[in-house]
Structure 1
Amino acid sequence: MFFSLASLAVLLPAVLGQIVDVPLEIESIEALFTSAQLVPELLPTFTPTWGLHFSFDNSTDNSAGQSLTVAQVATPPTLHLYTTNTTTASPFYTLMMVDADVIGTDESVGQTRHWLVNDVSVSGTGETLAVNIANATAITDYAGPFPAAGSGPHRYCLFLYAQPSTFQAPSDLSTPGTPLANNWDFAGYVNSTGLGPLVAGTFYIVEQGTATASIPAIPTVVSSTLSLAKASAASAAGMGTQTGSAASPSGSSGSGSGSHSGAMSNAVSAVGVMAVAGLLGAMLL
C-alpha cells in the first residue's frame, strides 16, 4: 500500500502533559532540523538534550515542524521541555527566536531576531519541565512572524541555550525593549557571549500566500509518526532479534537493549527517507 508524505506527516495536536518517548523525541527533532536544512544552513550540528514543545493556546502541544498561520503565532507561546533527566544544565538560560527564512537562504547575511530573553529559568520535577520567562529579562519582546506574501515557508526557530555564570549581555543588547532586528548575526551573538551548550530547540513554519519561486517543501514529521516507523522497524527486525550497532542517540541513556537500538536506528533511517521524499515530492512505500 502506498502512502503520501502528507498523510504520514500530518500533525495531530496533542494534549499538554502527554507521555513522550524522550529518546525518540530527540531523534525526531534532530532529523527534522536536518530535513528542513537548518543543519547545516543555520547550525553546523544540533544535538539537543531536551525536547522543546510550544503552545500558543495553552492546550495544544506543538512539536517541531508544524505549519501555523500568522494569527496563530501572534502572541508568545508557552514553552515546556521533555526530559528523562530533571537535573538542569545551568541555573539560567537564554531563549531566542530567529527567522531562518526559506530553505536555501544564505544564512551568512544574518537572521531576523524575533525574541531574545536572558535569565530564563527551568522548573519541574517530572518528565515535563516549564520554561519560565515571567521574571526573566526580555531584551527583545516576542514579535509575531509576518513573512512577506509569496516569499515561501519561513522557518522560525526557538533555541534554549545554557547561560554561563560569566554571561554579560553586549552593550547593544542589554536594554529591555530593544526592537526586532533584521540581518542579525545570530551565530556571532552566541559565540561572543559564550552561550552554550544548546540544550533544546524547535521550529515552526509560517507562510503567507503562494510562493512566487520554486522553493522545496519542508517535511513535517512528529513523534507520533516516528513511533509508527519505530514499530515497523522493530517488526522488520524480527521483533527484537536484530542487534543494533549504532551509538546511543544524543540525549538518551544508551542503556537500552541492542534490539531497541536497532529499532531506533531504523526509525531514524525512516525519517531520512521521509525527508528526502518530501524534498523531492516523491511518494513513500
Structure 2
Amino acid sequence: MDLQLKNKTALITGSTKGIGYAIALGLLKEGAKLYIHGRSIESVEKAIEKIKKEVPKAQVKGIPADFAKVEEVNNLLKTIPQVDILVNNIGIYGDRPFETTNDKQWFSDFEINVMSGVRLSRHYASSMRDKNWGRIIFISSESAINIPEDMILYGVTKTAYLALSRGLAKLFKGTNVTVNSVLPGPTSAEGAIEIFQNMSKETNATMKELQFEFITKNRPSSIIQRFSEPSEIANMVVYLASPLSSSTTGAALRVDGGVVETAY
C-alpha cells in the first residue's frame, strides 16, 4: 500500500532510539523527508548513520536539542520553520514516589513531557493551517488511562497529552489538519531492554521470562501477554501521518496490547 508520504516533511522528537526511531524508519521507508531529534549531536549522528544502513536512500537530517532548555527548543524551531508532520514523542519517565516527589521534579518532567508538545504544536499550527494540510501526533501511553501508582507524575503528563490533542483537533475543525494521540503499552524499547538485561544478569532468568513476569504482575489485563515491539507502535503512527488517515482526528488510539480494560 502506498501511504502517499513521498516528499512530506516530518519532525519526530526523541527519535534517536526506541519508538521514535522506529517511527523514523517507517516514515523514511514511505519516502518522507525527515528530521530526527536527540539531546546530543553524538546521538543524532549515530542514529543517522544507523538509519542510512537500513534505508540507503533516506532523506534524513538531524538536530540536537535539550527540551528542558527553552532556548534550545527555540533554536530548533528557527532551524526547522515548517513541517508537514509533527510527532511529539519525546518523554521521560521513572519511579517517582508521590509522597517524596517534590515540585521541582514535577515541573521538570512537565516541561519535557508536556510543554515540548505545546511549544512545537503552537509553532507549526499556523503554517499547517495556511497550507490546509498537516498531521500532529502525540505519543501518550496507556498510563494516561491506567495511572500507575508508582508513576503518578508520568501518568499525569500523558493524560495531559490526551486533552491537548483533542483540543487541538477541534481547533482545526473543517481543515485538512488532523491531530491524534497514540497510546502504547509496555514496549521493548532500549530503556526497558536495558533494565531487563540487568535483571537477567542478577537473577539468571531470561529477558523474555522477566518481561512475562512484569506483564502478569503489573499489567495482568494485557490481552497479548507480551511487550510490544517499537515497530508495532510505529505502524500506527505512520498510518496516522499519511493522507489516508484523513477522517481520523481527535482520537486517542491504543496500541497497548489490550491493557486498558475498556472496549472503546
**TM-score (structure 1 length as normaliser):** 0.25
Query: Which structure's relative contact order is higher, taking Cα pairs within 8 Å and 6+ residues apart?
Result: 1
More helix by share: 2
**TM-score (structure 2 length as normaliser):** 0.26
More strand by share: 1
